[in-house]
Every structure is written in structure tokens, then in C-alpha cells.
Structure 1
Amino acid sequence: MRVLRHLTARHRTLATNRTLGLMLAFNAGAMNAGGFMAVRMYTSHMTGFLAALADSLVLGEFALVLAAIGALAAFLCGAAATAILVNWARQQRLCGTYALPLLLEALLMLLFGLLGAATLQWPTPFAVPLTVLLLAFMMGLQNAVVTKMSSAQIRTTHMTGVVTDLGMELGRMLYWNRRGTPRASRVRANRERAQLFASLLALFVIGGVVGAAGFQYIGFAWVVPQAALLLALSLPPLFTDAQRLAAWWRGRRVAE
């Protein structure tokens, strides 16, 4: 409980940022791959939706234009919701500063799992079912959580950026510093960052395999363990906040 409370707490360390980032990379991979099995779309891939938006405009396929706009808007709203929740928690000096958006994501995942295939038929104004918008919103929520807590050093759904960063670190490792190059001018790789990026990629892929297999063989119920993981991350610090609030309320009643 103590470890889980610190992972999403207000005070951050490099170790907690990395641990939470790796756990959420696994979750993002599972949700992205499992979501594709459900709706045939990778709902964290905003670059792809932007490209689809441009292509569909030229081809005159306006249903696809609406679908891309809907997914982009849902992802954007998810990121905005995280910013609102985190900033409010900071102002209230809550222990679980980063727990609220993860709790919201867990509840939405449970809703997605419980409703199951029914959500695939719910129409929206964006020419895609509610499931697509829900998954994109959750991806926006999660990516913004890790971005804010790590000051944009870690991303869990933006693997293009992770691969780019890993490639640059590998380039630094392979760079040959000529003999006589001043120490201050030598190119040096940050092996810890390279290890972090490689771990994020590996866990995203492993999560994708687990998510795809879970949906293939279990169905919509595969999201329940994923939601349980997020609940385990978000509830301990929020429970601490609830205890503090209860103690404050009891003290106020005694003072009256």
C-alpha cells in the first residue's frame, strides 16, 4: 500500500516516474491492441487520424473526416480532463494528485467492459460508435497523466517519440569520439534513458500482446484486470486524502 500510494502521489521522484510510466505503457499497449480488436482502430494513434483527416478531405469521404475529428476531439478532451483534475488536486494539496484521472480511466474501462458489444452500436454525431470515442478519451487521459508527472520526459502512447529518443541515444553510443577530443566536447550516451525508452517499448508491445489475446479469447471482460491495475494505483493515495478529510472534519466538529 505504501509503494502504491507513492506512485501517484504529489511528490515525485525519478524512480516513481519511471515505475508508473512503465506500468502505464503496458496498460496503453493492452488498451490500444485490445481496442483495435474491438473497433479496428488504434485509438491512441493521433498521427494516423490526422493523416486520415487530410486524405479523406481530398477524397471527399466525409464520413471518415467526421470519424477522425471525433477521435481527435475525444483524445483532446481526455488530455484536458487530466489537466483540470491534476491542477485542481494540486491546488487542494491532495496526496493523490495524479490518482484522479487514473481513477476516472479505470471507471470508464469498467463501463466499457460491462457494456461490452452494446457500445459498438451506439451512434454518435462523428460517424463512429461510442466505443471509439471512449477509447480515444481514455488514451488522452492516460498520456496526459504521464506527461504532466514527468514534465514531458515520458510518454506511454506516443511510441514514435520513444523510438526517436531511443534511436538518438543509440546514435550517441555508436558515435566515435576522436582521440584528443576535449572531455567537455565528447558525445556521451545516457544509458539510463536508453534503458528507459527500450523498457517502455517492450512493455507497450507486451501489453499489446496481452490485450489482443485477452480480447480474442475472453472478450470484453479482458479489461477488468486492466481496470483493477489502475484502481490499485489510484485508490491508495485517495484513501489517504479521505482519511485526512475525515480527521479535519472531526476536529472541526469538536471545535464547534
Structure 2
Amino acid sequence: MISKHLDRTTKENIQLGSLTAFSAGMVNVISVIIFFAFTSNVTGHYAILAQEISHGNYYQALVVFGWIALFFLGNFTSNIIVINFRDRNAYLAHSIPIVLEILCLLVVGTYIQYYYKETLLETELMVSCMLFAMGIQNGLTATISNSAVKTTHLTGLTTDLGILASLFTKKKNRENPELRNKWKLLIAIMASYLIGGICAGYIYLTIAYNVFFIVCIFLLIVIGYDFYRIRMNRLLHKKQPYYRKIIKHRIAQLSN
């Protein structure tokens, strides 16, 4: 049942991947600048968790484990919302996770702006909130694209690009439309993530902590794009019987 709803064109996946990767790049660079921690993925956190356990730093190990769990919870939350609401209202199913992500970023941005004392506990809590938000985004994009789009980390993407580059050394693979479309998607995600990070760095130098609110505005654009896409797909779906009727009528006229 899920695959029936998740059929998407390459163009739609590129648009989704570019928009969400741009925001993920912004969030990750912001977290590195302010908190000295990556929040768009948990690969490094697993290494830190192992290190803290081996050194006997069990409190820090527990904190890092909590970060990983929150990223997991974000993925779980977005997916359970989509699979339970999509049949009733696809737009609502897609927008609720993004709204939750926006709320998380607003909480972090507002707290940093007015209350942040730069204590270790505050930093740990802010990173926790951002990891949950990024888990939500990654889970949402992966779910609605049938796992074709994952935009909050680039390790797997870079691996896929390397594999594709090797495949393209053979002419038959260079002419394969499916591989070419995958290449376009991965390049779009990588470029958007990088551009988002660069933009976040420049914006932070200009307006400091207000950069969180810029990211939230951009995520609202993502919601607007998804509403437009779903609405257009519904209109096209409604018009298909009409177009088929016209085609059949034309064919009948030509036959006569």
C-alpha cells in the first residue's frame, strides 16, 4: 500500500531533495558554529559513544546515547505520522512533521536569543532538540520518496556517487536513464546541502542567532511547495478520465 502512494517522478524527488538538503545544510552548519556539534547525522556520535564508554565517562556516554535515540525518535515520529495520515490527507501527513521540525528550531532559536548562558547542560539540550528535528526531516523525506531521498547526511550519498561514477565508465551505463536520473538526484542533494551550509555561515555572520528563523521561513516554503505539488497531482488525476475520453473520441473519429 505504501509504494502505491509513494510513486514520484525524478523531478519531484530532485525538488524535494534540493529543498530539504538546503535546510539540512543550514542547520548542520549553524549547530557546528554555535554548539561545536553535528546535528544532521549521528555517524560521528556512535564513535563518540564508544569512546566515552571506553574512557569510563558514563554520563557523557548517556548524553550521546540520548542524542542518537532522539534522532531515531525523530525518524520514527515522522514515519508514523505519514503512514497513519496519508490515506486521509496527504498534505497534512507531510506538513505535520515539518511543523514539528519548525517548532523545534523556533524553540532553540528563541532560547538562544534570550536565555542561553552557554552552560554545558543548555548546550546538550539544544543539540538534543536539533537532532530530533533533523531526524524528523530525514525520516519524512525518506518515507515520502520511498527511500530515494535522504538529505541530512552525505556519507551514503558520496558512496553512491562513487559507485555511479565507476558504473559510468561503461557506455551502456551512461545511457541508462535510471542511473542518469539517480546521478542527477544525488548531485542536486549534495550541491543544495553545501550551498545551504555556505548560506547559513554568511547569514550567521550578519544576523547571528536570527539565522534559526531564516531556516524556519525556508521550511515554510517547503510546506508550500508540497501543498502545490499535491494539489497539482490531484487536478491532473481528476482530468485524466476527461483526457482519455477525448482520446477515445478522436480515435473513433479517425477509424470512421
TM-score over 0.5 for the alignment? yes
3-state DSSP of counterpart to 2:102 = helix
Alignment match, 2:36: 40
- Cα offset, 1:227, TM superposition: 0.5
**Letter paired with 2:79:** A
Cα contact 1:37–1:216 (8 A) shared by 2: no
- Specify which structure has the higher proportion of helix: 2
The amino acid of 1:148's aligned partner reads: T
1:104 and 2:94 aligned: no
Q: Which residue of 2 aligns with 1:65?
A: 61
Supply the distance in 2 between the matched residues of 1:192 and 1:41 (Cα, whole angstroms).
33
Percent same amino acid at aligned positions?
A: 26
Partner of 2:91: 95
Deviation at 1:234, TM superposition (A): 2.2
Q: How many residues are matched? A: 220
Distance 1:149 1:217 in 2: 35
Return the offset for 1:121.
5.0
Aligned to 2:192: 203
- TM-superposed deviation, 1:96: 3.3
1:110-144 per-position Cα deviation (integer Å, ceiling 9, x unaligned)? 222222253565776xx953101011001100000
Assess if the C-alpha contact under 8 Å between 1:39 and 1:120 holds in 2: no
Confirm or deny: 8 A CA contact 1:71 1:133 kept in the other structure.
Answer: yes
Unaligned stretches of 5+ residues in structure 1: 1-9, 178-185, 242-256
Matched position secondary structure for 2:168: helix
Counterparts of 2:99 and 2:126 in 1: how far apart (Å)?
A: 19
The answer for the alignment partner of 1:237 in structure 2 is: 227
Contact 1:120-1:130 at 8 Å conserved across structures? no
Pair 1:53-2:43 in alignment: no
Counterpart CA distance in 1 for 2:215 and 2:135 is 17
Describe the SS at the equivalent of 2:91.
coil
- Seen in structure 2, the aligned counterparts of structure 1 residues 12 and 115 have a Cα distance that, compared at 3 Å, is farther
Are 2:210 and 1:221 aligned? yes
TM-score (structure 2 length as normaliser): 0.77
Gapped regions of structure 2 (runs ≥ 5): 232-256
Question: What SS does the aligned partner of 2:92 have?
Answer: coil
CA 1:174–1:217: 2 relative to 1, 3 Å: same
